[in-house]
Amino acid sequence: MANVAQFRVCPRTGLQFHRSAETLIKVNAVAAVVALLVGGILALLVLLTRWQAVHIIDAENFYMVLTAHGLDMLAYWIIFFEIAILYFCSSTLLRSRLATPRIAWLGFWLMLIGAVANNVAVFRGDSSVMFTSYPPLPANQLFYLGLILFAVGALIGCFVFLGTLVVAKAEKTYEGSIPLVTFGALTAAIIAIFTIASGAIILIPTWLWSIGYVSHIDPLMYRTVWWAFGHSSQQINVSAHVAVWYAIAAIVFGAKPMSERVSRVAFTLYILFLQLASAHHLLADPGLSTEWKVFNTSYAMYLAVLASMIHGLTVPGAIEVAQRGKGFTKGLFEWIRKAPWGNPVFSGMFISLLGFGFLGGISGVMMGTEQLNMLIHNTIYVPGHFHATVVVGTTLAFMSITYFLIPTLFNREMILPGLAKWQPYLFGLGMSVFCLAMMGAGTLGVPRRHWDITFAGSALPYEFPGTAWLMIAVFGISGLVAIVGGGAYILITVGSLLFGKKLDAGAYTAQRTVLKMPVATAMTGHGSAGFAAPGTFVFAMVFLAAFVLYYFVNWKYLSTVWGLS
Ligand code: HEM
Ligand SMILES: [Cu+2]
């Protein structure tokens, strides 16, 4: 066995790192943060242009910058970080060596080359086709090739993850079934394989079309297959960030899930029902029947929503049970009032959970209803919704766990702890207001992806109500606050890796650890904590009331825009 001096145990947490897994987790995380930096600078430019009072860049560059912003954020920042999470959840949490490290490196290089190639194509200026790259809009062939290489690299990462699960089982590195957090990562990996296959089915012909070997790509066919990829990839993000929520509940509180079985079933619901929801991106498309749209978006799709609601209930519930166990039992809410709100690992995770549920979840179900979708289709409401899910939800969850990884994985003390305390609030609350303002402006009809919402000089001018302009101003200001929060995250993480005080890493040995320390034990343990969480149930009722009310308000609004008599 090639286990010579391959493992070290983190002296602060008891987590055990395999040397090659550790390096791969690090390089993937660093690549992710670099993508976030580039995407963040572009976010500033997009924001300052969409904010009509500033309107900083011209039309041609706007679409180029918007394309690069979407890809650097939603593809490269998120997916590099997810590969790091997959290796952590397999090798580290199962105390196993990583299967085939060389192949994992191949995957990393393919992802890196693909991401760079795709960015080069965009910044050359002939591939401003937006994140969705719908034909007949043409991009340079390098654009599609870059995406394909990146996807192949990510697919390799998923297989290395699965291989590591097999190795860990064969070498009996853990007892019983895999931990819940690893199970969440497994869900993400399974969905990723389906997703990447769908991406290949549509992007390879489109690449051939860009070279000239295929004469025609049918736009409706493209959209249908592309969304099997585009929507499913969001379900990867959800599975991954929910796994991170459970991990953080264990790290910060030593919390056990309320019911491990229920949580596992909820993850499985994602795998079973996510594809149907892809239809919610096609609700305004001609050529697809109403029956097909209504069935796919209104019945089984809600089982994926149910899964998220279960996690949204059981994660804070688990925290409540753990806190009550520590003696915070006064009233309904002492457990949450006395939670460590100054610890960014916790505060970021909790804002992520609330923002994802209240803003992203409720608006998503509203938009997924065929009739209501017509109210906001192709308006700035849409990016309002998805910034609530992928930015407040996924991105902020990933930021929170980074603060845990700096001392554990990178063995550095975090710099600027005072700023770190505020970072989740700046980013999370700034982004939440930003999303709400976009949704407000979108409800009033302000379009998305449009360089000039005044439609100056157009043949059919349109006046938006004054409130829309107010919303756009709120959007600009809160977006800036979020960008300051995002900048703080990058400053703290990069600064800590470069200048943070070096911490004891623990020596590399050939042995696997038998040491049981609280953090490692909480993250990998089994068992259920029970459902005695009255405070969380009050939250759940508030959520339900908000949900019903908002849904009703939109039906009411629909009745007023459609003059039937
Ligand atoms: C402070 C951070 C951010 C700000 C201020 C910001 C701002 C914006 C703005 C103003 C738009 C254009 C909306 C429109 O007119 O259609 C946009 C689009 C977009 N953003 Fe962000 N964003 C941020 C972070 C993120 C992150 C972290 C992600 C992904 C994880 C993301 C993903 C996207 C995507 C996919 C688009 C759509 C691109 C397209 O239409 O092709 N953004 N963002
Ligand atoms: Cu979707």
Largest Cα–Cα separation, the chain = 80
Nearest CA to ligand 1 atom 19: 70
Quick one: which of 198, 188, 272 has its CA closest to 238?
188
What pLDDT sits at residue 85? 98
Percent of the chain surpassing pLDDT 90: 85
Cα(414) to centroid of ligand 2, in Å? 36
Q: Is 331 inside any structural domain?
A: yes
The ligand with the least distance to the CA atom of 72 is 1
Task: Return the residue whose CA atom lies nearest to atom 38 of ligand 1.
Answer: 70
Closest CA to 304 of 280, 279, 269, 275: 269
Could you say which ligand is closest to the alpha carbon of residue 234? 2
Element (H, E) at 395: none
Nearest alpha carbon, ligand 1 atom 11: 46
Determine whether the shortest distance from the Cβ of 535 to ligand 1 is under 6 A: no
CB of 405 shorter than 6 A to ligand 1: no
Ligand 2 mean position, distance from CA 256 (Å):
31
Is residue 14 a part of any domain in this protein? Answer: no
If one compares 413 and 516, the residue with the highest pLDDT of the two is 413
| pLDDT, position 564 | 58
5 in a domain, yes or no? no
User: Does any domain span residue 66?
Assistant: yes
Residues 6+ positions from 222 with CB-CB distance below 8 Å: 134, 135, 202, 206
The string over 130-161, giving b where at least 16 C-beta atoms fall within 10 Å of a residue's C-beta and e elsewhere, is bbebebeeebbbbbbbbbbbbbbbbbbbbbbb
Average pLDDT over residues 274-289: 88
User: pLDDT at position 4, please?
Assistant: 67
CB 438 near ligand 1, within 6 Å: no
CATH number at residue 469: 1.20.210.10
**pTM surpassing 0.95?**
yes
User: Average pLDDT, stretch 200-223?
Assistant: 96
Which one, of 475, 528, 507, lies nearest residue 322 by Cα? 528
pLDDT of residue 180: 97
Q: How much is the average pLDDT of 451-474?
A: 90
Nearest CA to ligand 1 atom 28: 73
How many domains in the chain?
1
DSSP secondary-structure letter at 457? T
Please count the other Cβ atoms lying within 10 Å of the Cβ belonging to residue 465. Answer: 10
Mean pLDDT of 404-420: 97
Question: Is residue 6 situated within a structural domain?
Answer: no
pLDDT digits (tens, 9 = 90+) for 282-321: 999 988 998 888 888 876 678 889 999 999 999 999 999 9
Residue 47 C-alpha to ligand 1 middle, in angstroms? Answer: 8
What is the Cβ-side half-sphere exposure of residue 113, based on CA atoms within 13 angstroms?
11
Residue range of the domain that includes 553:
19-453+462-558
* Mean pLDDT of the 148-154 span: 97
Determine the residue of 34, 73, 237 to mutate for testing ligand 1's pocket, defined as the one with the most ligand atoms within 8 A of the Cβ atom. 73
Closest CA to 374 of 255, 290, 500: 290
Say what the pLDDT of residue 481 is: 98
Contact 119 CB / ligand 1 (< 6 Å) = no
The rounded distance, in Å, linking the Cα atoms of 174 and 98 is 14
H-run or E-run covering 426 = helix 417-443
- Does the beta carbon of 382 lie inside 6 Å of ligand 1? no
Q: Which two tokens stand for residue 515?
A: 């040491």
Sign, CA torsion 339/345/351/356: negative
Tell me, yes or no, whether 347 lies in a domain. yes
Which numbered ligand comes closest to the C-alpha of 228? Answer: 2
190 CB near ligand 1 (under 6 Å): no
E strand segments, 472-540:
none
Residue type, 512: R
Nearest atom of ligand 1 to the alpha carbon of 78 = 30
Q: Beta-strand (E) ranges in 224-323?
A: none
**pLDDT > 80? residue 193:** yes
**Does position 33 have pLDDT exceeding 50, yes or no?**
yes
Residue 465, both tokens: 């109500």
**How far is it, in rounded angstroms, from Cα 367 to Cα 14?**
45
Exposed e or buried b for every residue in 167-193, given b needs 16+ CB within 10 A?
A: bbeeeebbeeebbbbbbbbbbbbbbbb
Does 519 sit in the ligand 1 pocket, CB within 6 Å? no
Residue 12 forms part of a structural domain:
no
Q: Picking from 12-26, 92-106, 254-268, 515-529, which range would have the lowest pLDDT averaged per residue? A: 515-529
Q: How far is the CA of 449 from the centre of ligand 1 (A)?
A: 10
Our answer on whether the CB atom of 75 is closer than 6 Å to any ligand 1 atom is: no
Listed in sequence order, the residues at least 6 apart from 294 whose beta carbon sits closer than 8 Å to its beta carbon are 370
174 sits in which H/E element = none
Atom number of ligand 1 nearest to Cα 431:
1
Determine whether the shortest distance from the Cβ of 38 to ligand 1 is under 6 A: no
Q: What distance in Å separates the CA atoms of residue 141 and residue 155, rounded to the nearest whole number?
A: 21
> Does residue 321's CB lie within 6 angstroms of at least one atom of ligand 1?
no
Scanning the structure block, which residue is given the tokens 């059981």? Answer: 314
The alpha carbon of 73 and the centre of ligand 1 are apart by a number of angstroms equal to: 8
Least confident piece of the model among 23-32, 416-425, 463-472: 463-472
Average model confidence (pLDDT) for the chain? Answer: 94
Question: Looking at the predicted structure, is the pLDDT value of residue 214 above 80?
Answer: yes
Ligand 1 pocket test target in 66, 128, 400 with most atoms within 8 Å of CB: 66
User: In sequence order, which residues have a C-beta less than 8 Å from that of residue 362 and are 6 or more positions away?
Assistant: 546, 547, 550, 551
**Cα 278 to ligand 2 centroid, rounded to whole Å:** 5
Answer yes or no: is the C-beta of 123 below 6 A from any ligand 1 atom: no
10 Å Cβ neighbour count for 217?
Answer: 17
Q: For atom 22 of ligand 1, which residue has the closest CA?
A: 43
Q: Please check whether residue 442 lies inside any domain of the structure.
A: yes
**For 522-540, what is the mean pLDDT?**
92
* Continuous segment of H or E residues that includes residue 138: none
Q: How confident is the model at residue 514 (pLDDT cuts 50, 70, 90)?
A: low
Q: Supply the pLDDT for residue 1.
A: 47
Ligand 1 lined by 73 (C-beta under 6 Å): yes
